[in-house]
Structures are given as C-alpha cells and as structure tokens.
Amino acid sequence: MLCAVLFALVTWQVAAGGPLLALDERLGRAVFRPHTPSVIAEAGADLGAMVPALPVLAAALCWSGWLGHARWRGRRQGDEGAPPGARPRWWLPPLVAVAAMTAVPALVVPLKLWIARPGPLGPAENYGWYPSGHAATAAVAYGAALLLLLPHLRRALVRRTAVVCVVLLNLWVGAGLVRRGYHWPLDVVGSWFLCGLLLWGVACAVRWSTASRDTGEAPEAGADPEGGTDPEGGTDPEGGTDPDTGADPKTGADPKTGADPDTGTAPDSREN
C-alpha cells in the first residue's frame, strides 16, 4: 500500500506540475552531463533494456521452476520426510513473475502517453518520459528473479549478498538513466514505486508456495483420522478394543460375557 500511495503522489506532482517537479528538474540538471563520456553510466542505463533483463528473468524462471518441480516430485515419492499428499504449487511464483513482467509495458506505455512529460533532452514524439520504462524493466526483471531464487538459496550470507547486488544494480540503472539525460529523477523513482506493487504480488506468490510446501501434512500411514483406528493392528487407540469383535486385545475376553476365548467359559462358571 505504501508503494501505491507514493506512486500516486509522484504521478500527481508530475502531471499537475507541482512544487516537487521543480526540485526534480533542478536535481536532474545538476546530475546531467551530456557532453561528458561515461561508460559506466551508459552501461548502467543499458542494463534496463529488454535484451539483458529478459534473459536473466527467463533463466531464473527455468531454474526455480525446475527446482520446485523436482522437489515436489521428491515429496510425492516420500523423499525428505515430506508428505506424499502435498499439493503442487511450484508453478505459481513463475506464473506470477511472468504476469508482472507482462504488466510493465501495459502500465508504463499508457502513462507515458497520458502524462507526456518532456525529457531532459527535449520532448519526444507521441509519448513522454514518465515513468521510465528502462527503470521499470530492470526493477521487475531483476527483482522477480531474486524473489524466485531466494527460497532455493540455503545460506543466509548468500541470500543477503543477492539482495544487496540486485538493489545496487537497480540503483546503477537509475543513476545511469539520469546521468546520461534519458530521464528525470522522478521518472526513475516513480517507476520503482510502480514496480514495488508488481514485486509485492510476486513475493506473496513465493511466500504462499513456500508455506504450502513446508506446512502441508498428510495423515500418518496406518491411522484413520476420523475413527482413530489402526488398520494394521485393528485396535482402537483410546479404548484398546478390537473394532470388529469388541474383544480386549490383551486378555482376549469378550467385554459382554467375559468369556475366555480358550475355554469358552465365563469367570463365574470356572469358580463354581
């Protein structure tokens, strides 16, 4: 919800020409260096293009899907001590990640056409510069890839390192876009807020899939969850009686007549 509120605030300031817009353009002109060659800034801006971002996401989709399916098959066969009746939801996070990536152009392009904000290098034909498509592509592609792979990374240090690398990568992309004059700072920040909503959906799918995999339990073999009887021993765990004959499994006596199954006589007749 916080990302939605911040995105609405930034979009309102850009569309209405609010006071935040003047500060944004002043900061952008201070950072913008069109005549200074910067290989690092240009490389960062290029990382937000479809060509490097989509293959990274595709590789993460394939890897996480393969690991999730393999783990589910192992659990069905009783491996790792997991219940064989767990429902397969390994496909959910990759599916939501693909939907989030597909939503990027579906959301960014109409906003560009509607707001039509001129860029640092001047207005563009038929569309504007807010929000940044490159920043949105990088945020969703690399962010979704991280969320898909985190459940499969066992060491905490590796997970923390991966998170830091993805955050720094997106900062590099945003700084490169502003430095080279392709976008204003608010173009990049607005894209990050918008993509925060999309990545929240991917995170929820990953959490739901992981929780269902870890907490899914099936009844133990040989136990009837309703009647409380053991199919192998045929005994009632509470009453200790045979559910078919009603006999006591320890003495073998009939609970109604008290007859001994070996002699067929009741205790009173043996005394007389």
Cα–Cα distance, 244 to 233 (Å, whole number): 11
Residue 153: inside a domain:
yes
What's the confidence (pLDDT) of residue 208?
86
- Integer Rg of the chain from CA: 32
Answer yes or no: do 241 and 126 share one domain: no
Q: Residue 217 to residues 78, 83, 207: CA-CA distances in angstroms?
A: 12, 6, 17
**How many domains, the chain?**
2
Using a cut of 0.75, tell me whether the model's pTM lies above it.
no
Dihedral sign (CA 206, 209, 212, 213): negative
Answer yes or no: do 206 and 236 share one domain: no
What's the confidence (pLDDT) of residue 187?
96
Residue 89: inside a domain:
yes
Residues 33-62 pLDDT 10s? 766 668 899 999 999 999 999 999 999 999
Answer yes or no: do 211 and 236 share one domain: no
The domain in which residue 258 lies consists of 232-265
Contact 180, 38 (CB under 8 A): yes
Answer yes or no: do 168 and 73 share one domain: yes
Cα–Cα distance, 4 to 92 (Å, whole number): 24
Q: Residue 77 to residues 20, 66, 84, 90, 96: CA-CA distances in angstroms?
A: 59, 17, 6, 16, 27
Residues 236-257 pLDDT 10s? 444 445 545 555 555 555 555 5
Cα–Cα distance, 225 to 83 (Å, whole number): 15
Answer yes or no: do 91 and 209 share one domain: yes
Cα–Cα distance, 183 to 223 (Å, whole number): 65
Answer yes or no: do 199 and 68 share one domain: yes
What backbone torsions phi and psi does residue 122 show, to the nearest 5 degrees?
Answer: 115, 170
The beta strands (E) that lie in the chain are given as: none
Q: Indicate the burial class of 41 (C-beta count within 10 angstroms; 0-12, 13-18, 19 or more).
A: buried
Answer yes or no: do 237 and 193 share one domain: no
Residues of the chain with pLDDT under 50: 79-86, 215-240, 243, 266, 268-272
Strand partners of residue 119: 122
Answer yes or no: do 128 and 249 share one domain: no
Residue 74: inside a domain:
yes
Residue 116: inside a domain:
yes
